[in-house]
Structure 1
Amino acid sequence: MTPLKLIETSPGAFSLLLDAGTTQVDELVEQLGHDPNGYFWAGVARFLVSTEASTLEGRFSYDPEAGMFCAYGNDRTALQELGALMSAVARDGDRMRKLVLSAKAAGFEFDD
């Protein structure tokens, strides 16, 4: 799940975290006109859920900040699935480029 990490914040409560600005695709994200901050990554997560993993919808919440992406909840499996999807994008420039272009074509707005 690199560069994301899943932690148990209290018994039965989990957070999926990504330190913004630490991925292999940050420079590409900037070239595509976005700021690779926590809000951008929350948009990536939302777009992935809406287009590739609708079964995850409503199974966790988002709490991004400028320097960090965070999704949290008590459904560890759902957060692991999201982490796997996001990890693939965070490590693959071609995948990130396709995601951003698909989002633009669909009228999706990243909140970065």
Structure 2
Amino acid sequence: MSTEDFEKIISPFFWSEHENSASVCLNVGEYKTEIFKARAEEGFEGNGYDWASLANVFLEEKLPHLVGIVKFDPEGSMYCAYSADKAALKQFAIAFKEAVEDKDVVHDLFSRAELD
């Protein structure tokens, strides 16, 4: 898969390469905000921490072999996952984007997300 194809597949998430690692991030607030509105009364806002909570449930349930390899470093305005294993992070990024695009899957996963 070309870099261009990969970047199209994961968009609006974006990929950044670093010397010994890579990260996949999202500027929050515009993409899939309806996911978080479903639990707004509990305090979910759709910020970077909320995205990381969702991604953590996804990782633990759907890609448990990547737990500890893919890590999260969210901020209020940005969700970010990173890893020294770039191939593992790419696998996670593609699978997570597919899950987020599937309304039933993402709402099921989000039902178990914990407020950070």
Please confirm whether the aligned pair reaches a TM-score higher than 0.5, indicating the same fold.
Answer: yes
Query: Aligned residue for 2:86?
Result: 76
Residue 37 of structure 1 aligns with an amino acid whose one-letter code is: N
When the two structures are aligned, how many residues end up with a matched partner?
104
Within the candidate set 64, 67, 74, 1:64 is matched to 74
Q: Per-residue deviation at 1:54?
A: 0.4
Q: Distance in 1 between matches of 2:97 and 2:73?
A: 18
Query: Aligned residue for 1:109?
Result: 114
CA shift digits 1:27-80 (9 cap, x unpaired): 232133221110011111111111111010111322100000111221111111
Within the candidate set 84, 97, 100, 1:90 is matched to 100
Task: Name the Cα RMSD after superposition.
Answer: 1.7
Structure scoring higher RCO (CA < 8 A, sep ≥ 6) equals 1
* TM-score, reference length from structure 1: 0.80
Identical counterparts, % of pairs: 28
Structure 1 unaligned residues grouped into runs of 5+: none
Structure 2 unaligned residues grouped into runs of 5+: 1-9
* TM-score, reference length from structure 2: 0.78
Q: Per-residue deviation at 1:96?
A: 2.1
Contact 2:57 2:110 in 1 (8 A): no
Matched, 1:48 2:53: no
Query: Aligned residue for 2:3?
Result: none
Matched, 1:30 2:30: no
Matched, 1:8 2:17: yes
Q: Flag as ranges the 4+ runs of structure 1 deviating above 3 A.
A: none
Where 2:17 maps in the other structure, the secondary structure is: strand
Q: Distance in 2 between matches of 1:41 and 1:61?
A: 13
